[in-house]
C-alpha cells in the first residue's frame, strides 16, 4: 500500500482518487505518520439491487390494467368496439 505525504496528496488529489477508484488503497501521511487511508466507495450494480429488492414479490396489477382510457383511445383513433 503506497504512502503519500499530505502536501503531495493535496496537489495530486484527483490522480489519487482515480487510483483509488481502480482499487488501490493509499495511505496519506502527516509528518511521516499515517493519518488517513484513501479507498474507493463500492458502487452497487443498480439493476442487481432492484432485482434483489423485488425478489419474491408477487406482481400485482390493477383490475383495469388492460383497459385503454377513453381519451387515449380517442387520440389514437381506436374504435369503441376494440376498447
3-state secondary structure at position 52? helix
Listed by start position, the domains of the chain span 3-38, 46-78
Find all residues with CB under 8 Å of 83, minimum gap 6, and list them.
Answer: 67, 68, 70, 73
Maximum Cα interatomic distance, the chain, rounded to a whole number of Å: 82
Residue 83's pLDDT is 62
Q: What angle do CA 42, 46, 49 make, to 5 degrees?
A: 90
- pTM given for the model: 0.52
For 16-38, how does the pLDDT look when each residue is reduced to its tens digit (9 = 90+)?
Answer: 999 999 999 999 999 999 999 99
CA dihedral 61, 62, 64, 68 (to 10 degrees): -70
Amino acid at each position: 500500500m503506497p504512502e503519500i505525504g499530505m502536501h503531495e496528496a493535496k496537489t495530486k488529489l484527483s490522480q489519487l482518487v482515480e487510483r483509488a477508484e481502480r482499487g488501490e488503497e493509499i495511505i496519506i501521511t502527516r509528518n511521516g505518520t499515517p493519518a488517513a487511508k484513501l479507498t474507493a466507495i463500492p458502487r452497487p450494480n443498480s439493476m442487481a439491487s432492484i432485482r434483489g429488492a423485488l425478489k419474491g414479490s408477487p406482481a400485482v396489477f390493477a383490475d383495469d390494467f388492460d383497459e385503454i382510457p377513453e381519451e387515449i383511445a380517442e387520440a389514437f383513433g381506436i374504435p369503441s368496439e376494440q376498447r
